[in-house]
């Protein structure tokens, strides 16, 4: 046989072996990754994507805000012009200590104060009117309140140095 033909056959065989071995091992790895992606998506681990809704309005009652404006999520959800009930239990409250009890909490926010409320909710959440039943029942205590993350009182802002604006330190007398 011709030496060139033998060399060509051996060269072709040498090139074909790694390609065949790589195709078998590589295909298996890709199948594993595809299975993981399919499993992750089917479990619904994360559910609907959550976004921050920024509500701007007036504080009307304990936990209720009359929404006057907001970011695009608030506007598209139909919250503007509605009274929305919030749960401020776990919210960060930024307000001056107006009742002088030494704590800054929701009790410092007064009716009619301009407020900004941030809440994390599922994307494309729409405003739903609260259902008012004629017969109050004991099982109807499920609150439709939105869990707020942050409440900022724009009317009674705390000063930057940590003291309230209403509390002005006395000036030292000149001697």
Place of tokens 């705390």: 158
Alpha helices in the chain (DSSP H): 3-43, 72-76
At residue 161 the predicted structure's pLDDT band, cuts being 50, 70 and 90, is low
Which of 152, 55, 54 is CA-nearest to residue 95? 152
139-154 pLDDT, tens digit each: 444 567 889 999 998 8
Strands of the sheet with 150-153, listed across from one edge: 92-94, 150-153, 114-122, 50-61, 64-70, 83-87, 146-147
pLDDT number for residue 83: 92
pLDDT number for residue 104: 87
- pLDDT, average across residues 47-59: 91
Q: pTM of this prediction?
A: 0.59
Contact 53, 44 (CB under 8 A): no
Domains in the chain, start-ordered, CATH in brackets?
50-129+144-153 (2.40.50)
At residue 64 the predicted structure's pLDDT band, cuts being 50, 70 and 90, is very high
79-116 pLDDT, tens digit each: 999 999 999 998 998 988 888 888 888 888 888 999 99
Contact 108, 99 (CB under 8 A): yes
Distances (CA, A) of 6 to 1, 18, 98: 7, 19, 96
Q: Tell me whether strands 114-122 and 64-70 are parallel, antiparallel or unpaired.
A: unpaired
Distances (CA, A) of 82 to 74, 75, 126, 149: 11, 11, 12, 20
Distances (CA, A) of 157 to 20, 71, 108: 71, 21, 11
pLDDT number for residue 42: 46
10-48 residues labelled b (16+ CB within 10 A) or e (exposed): eeeeeeeeeeeeeeeeeeeeeeeeeeeeeeeeeeeeeee
pLDDT number for residue 9: 80
Distances (CA, A) of 142 to 14, 90, 138, 139: 72, 18, 10, 7
């Amino acid at each position: 046989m011709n030496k060139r033909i033998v060399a060509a056959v051996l060269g072709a065989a040498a090139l074909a072996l790694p390609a065949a071995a790589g195709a078998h091992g590589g295909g298996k790895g890709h199948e594993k990754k595809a299975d993981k992606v399919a499993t992750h998506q089917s479990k619904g681990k994360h559910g609907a994507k959550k976004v921050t809704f920024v509500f701007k309005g007036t504080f009307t009652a304990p936990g209720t805000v009359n929404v006057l404006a907001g970011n695009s999520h608030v506007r598209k959800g139909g919250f503007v012009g509605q009274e929305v009930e919030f749960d401020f239990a776990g919210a960060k409250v930024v307000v001056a200590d107006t009742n002088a009890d030494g704590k800054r909490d929701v009790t410092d926010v007064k009716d009619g104060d301009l407020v900004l409320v941030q809440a994390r909710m599922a994307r494309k959440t729409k405003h739903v009117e609260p259902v008012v039943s004629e017969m109050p029942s004991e099982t109807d205590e499920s609150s439709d309140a939105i869990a707020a993350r942050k409440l900022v009182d724009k009317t009674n802002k705390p000063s930057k140095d940590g003291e309230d604006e209403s509390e002005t330190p006395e000036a030292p007398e000149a001697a």
